Amino acid sequence: AQSVTQLGSHVSVSEGALVLLRCNYSSSVPPYLFWYVQYPNQGLQLLLKYTTGATLVKGINGFEAEFKKSETSFHLTKPSAHMSDAAEYFCAVEAGTALIFGKGTTLSVSS
Amino acid sequence: NAGVTQTPKFRILKIGQSMTLQCAQDMNHNYMYWYRQDPGMGLKLIYYSVGAGITDKGEVPNGYNVSRSTTEDFPLRLELAAPSQTSVYFCASSLGEASQHFGDGTRLSIL
């Protein structure tokens, strides 16, 4: 069965610093992987997804993620954090028809 | 396009009451989903539908019912509200097994 583990429920960075949000997955088949962002009192918005092909995936707002099969990881990065990046981030793996989500990581950005 | 529209945005129910959470999408997506989000737990799939007239249970279906009479609408019904159903409910839709689009959620409190 597929599962997703997000390491760290809360990550704090300074504005301009590197953002690294960790996600490990478990899947018996080649996975489709997703990162979603949720701003306060809003729904989830797709940041990026990996299906097949290039393992480095670029998304919106300057985020990218790298699929590493050997490490079963799909970590999300951004070179320079902005105050507007403060939000909750969810990693998800496709499981048949639906998605299985991690528990989320709250990103705080300080000036 | 409105995307995925959920109503109401907020609701307070008494234990034992019933209600229907409405979800409508205007993207002609065949797949629709209902999730609940609890603090620190990520999103859990309640029910999903792959087309009009077809529904199936997700991970946490107990206490809920759904119907899908049209492509556009996918209401979620709570028959006998219980405090454990206090949560934020998200509806989502997708074209086949592509990326899911989320509504802004319904915040439900049961007292």
Of A32, A46, A101, the CB nearest to B43: A101
CB-based contacts of A11: which residues, under 8 Å, 6+ apart? A19, A20, A21, A105, A106, A107, A108
Residue whose C-alpha is closest to residue B100's, from A59, A94, A63, A41: A94
Backbone angles phi, psi at A36, to 5 degrees: -120, 150
B32 touching A, CB under 8 A? no
Chain A residues with beta carbon closer than 8 angstroms to that of B31: 97
Residues of A engaging B, defined by a Cβ cutoff of 8 Å: 9, 32, 34, 36, 41-46, 49, 90, 94, 97-104
Q: Please write the tens of the pLDDT for every residue from B41-82.
A: 889 999 999 999 999 999 999 999 999 999 999 999 998 999
Of A34, A43, A90, the CB nearest to B42: A90
State the Cα–Cα distance between residues A21 and A76, nearest whole angstrom: 5
CB-based contacts of A99: which residues, under 8 Å, 6+ apart? A34, A92, A93, B43, B45, B100
Best interface-test mutation with A: which of B21, B43, B47, B57 has the largest number of A CBs within 10 A? Answer: B43
Whether the per-residue pLDDT at B1 is higher than 70: the answer is no
What is the mean pLDDT for each group of 10 consecutive residues in chain A (111 residues)? 91 97 87 92 91 90 94 96 96 87 96 92
Residue whose C-alpha is closest to residue A33's, from A104, A102, A110, A108: A102
